[in-house]
Chain A
Amino acid sequence: MEINAAKRKIPSRIEGYGETSGKLYEGAFARAPSGYRAGPRMRAAVPNGKSKVTGSIKEAVIASGLKSGMTVSFHHHLRNGDFVVNEVIRACAELGIGGLTIFPTALFDVHKAIIPCIQSGVVAKIMGSVNGAIGKLVSEGKLDTPVVLRGHGGRPRAVMSGDARIDVAFIAAPTADRAGNISGRTGKSACGSIGYAFTDAEYADVVVAVTDNLRSFPISPVSIPGVYVDLVAVTDSIGDPAGIVSGTTRVTRDPLRLLIASHASKLIEASPYFTDGISFQTGAGGIPLAVTAFMKEAMKRRGITGSFGLGGITGYFVDLMREGLVRKLMDVQSFDLEAVNSISADPNHIEISADWYANPWNRGAAVNMLDIAVLGATEVDVDFNANVNTEADGALLHGIGGHQDAAAGAKLTIIAQPLLRGRVPCVVERAHTVTTPGEVVDALVTEFGVTINPRRRDLLDAVADFAISKQTPLVPMDELAARAREMSGPMEPIRVTDRIVAVAEWRDGTVIDVVRQIER
Chain B
Amino acid sequence: MEANAIKTARAGTLESMDCLVAVADSDAGRVIEISGASAVRFKSSMEKTINDTLDALGAGERLRISVRDNGALGVVLGARVETAYKRYAGLAE
- Of A87-95, A197-205, A210-218, A484-492, the one contacting chain B is A484-492
- Whether the pair B71, A492 counts as a contact (CB closer than 8 A) is no
- Of A41-49, A67-75, A404-412, A418-426, the one contacting chain B is A418-426
Confirm or deny: A393 has a beta carbon within 8 angstroms of a beta carbon on chain B: yes
Q: What's the nearest-Cβ distance from chain A to residue B52, in Å?
A: 12
Interface residues of B in 29-45 (CB under 8 A from A): 37-38, 40-45
- Whether the pair A392, B16 counts as a contact (CB closer than 8 A) is no
Confirm or deny: A63 has a beta carbon within 8 angstroms of a beta carbon on chain B: no
Contact partner of A491 among B37, B41, B70, B71, CB < 8 A? B41
- Whether the pair B44, A423 counts as a contact (CB closer than 8 A) is no
Interface size, chain B (Cβ < 8 Å): 16
Residues of B with C-beta under 8 A to A464 = none
Contact partner of B70 among A422, A490, A492, A494, CB < 8 A? A422
- Whether the pair B40, A393 counts as a contact (CB closer than 8 A) is yes
- Whether the pair A488, B40 counts as a contact (CB closer than 8 A) is no
Contact partner of B37 among A423, A487, A492, A494, CB < 8 A? A423
Q: Per-residue CB proximity of B37-62 to A under 8 Å, as 1/0?
A: 11011111100000000000000000
Contact partner of A424 among B41, B43, B44, B74, CB < 8 A? B41
Q: Determine the residue in chain A with the shortest Cβ distance to B16.
A: A422
- Whether the pair B73, A392 counts as a contact (CB closer than 8 A) is no
* CA A392 to CA B43, docked complex, whole Å: 13
A-B CB contacts (within 8 Å), total count: 48
Residues of A with C-beta under 8 A to B43 = 492
Q: Per-residue CB proximity of B11-31 to A under 8 Å, as 1/0?
A: 000001100000000000000
Residues of B with C-beta under 8 A to A423 = 17, 37-38, 41-42, 69, 71-73
* CA A432 to CA B1, docked complex, whole Å: 54
Q: Determine the residue in chain B with the shortest Cβ distance to A487.
A: B73
Residues of B with C-beta under 8 A to A488 = 42, 73
Interface residues of B in 57-93 (CB under 8 A from A): 69-74
Residues of B with C-beta under 8 A to A487 = 73
* CA A421 to CA B37, docked complex, whole Å: 10
- Whether the pair A489, B71 counts as a contact (CB closer than 8 A) is no
- Whether the pair B40, A392 counts as a contact (CB closer than 8 A) is yes
- Whether the pair B45, A421 counts as a contact (CB closer than 8 A) is no
* CA A487 to CA B73, docked complex, whole Å: 7
Interface residues of A in 467-494 (CB under 8 A from B): 487-492, 494
- Whether the pair A424, B71 counts as a contact (CB closer than 8 A) is yes
Q: Per-residue CB proximity of A488-505 to B under 8 Å, as 1/0?
A: 111110100000000000
* CA A420 to CA B74, docked complex, whole Å: 13
* CA A323 to CA B36, docked complex, whole Å: 46
Q: What's the nearest-Cβ distance from chain A to residue B79, in Å?
A: 14
Q: What's the nearest-Cβ distance from chain A to residue B73, in Å?
A: 6
* CA A420 to CA B27, docked complex, whole Å: 38
* CA A420 to CA B73, docked complex, whole Å: 10
Q: What's the nearest-Cβ distance from chain B to residue A452, in Å?
A: 27
Q: Per-residue CB proximity of A419-440 to B under 8 Å, as 1/0?
A: 0111110000000000000000
Q: What's the nearest-Cβ distance from chain B to residue A326, in Å?
A: 34
- Whether the pair A422, B45 counts as a contact (CB closer than 8 A) is no
Known: A422-B16, A422-B17. A392 touches B71 (CB 8 A): no
Residues of A with C-beta under 8 A to B17 = 420, 422-423
- Whether the pair B37, A422 counts as a contact (CB closer than 8 A) is yes
Which residue of B41, B42, B44 has the most chain A CB atoms within 10 A of its CB atom?
B41
Contact partner of A392 among B41, B69, B70, CB < 8 A? B41
Q: Determine the residue in chain B with the shortest Cβ distance to A394.
A: B40
Q: Which 8 A/B pairs are nearest by Cβ-Cβ distance? A: A422-B71, A423-B38, A393-B40, A489-B45, A491-B41, A422-B37, A423-B71, A489-B74
- Give the B-binding residues of A (Cβ under 8 A): 392-393, 420-424, 487-492, 494
CB pairs A–B below 8 angstroms (14 shown): A420-B17, A421-B71, A422-B16, A422-B38, A423-B41, A423-B69, A423-B71, A424-B41, A488-B42, A489-B73, A489-B74, A492-B41, A492-B43, A492-B44
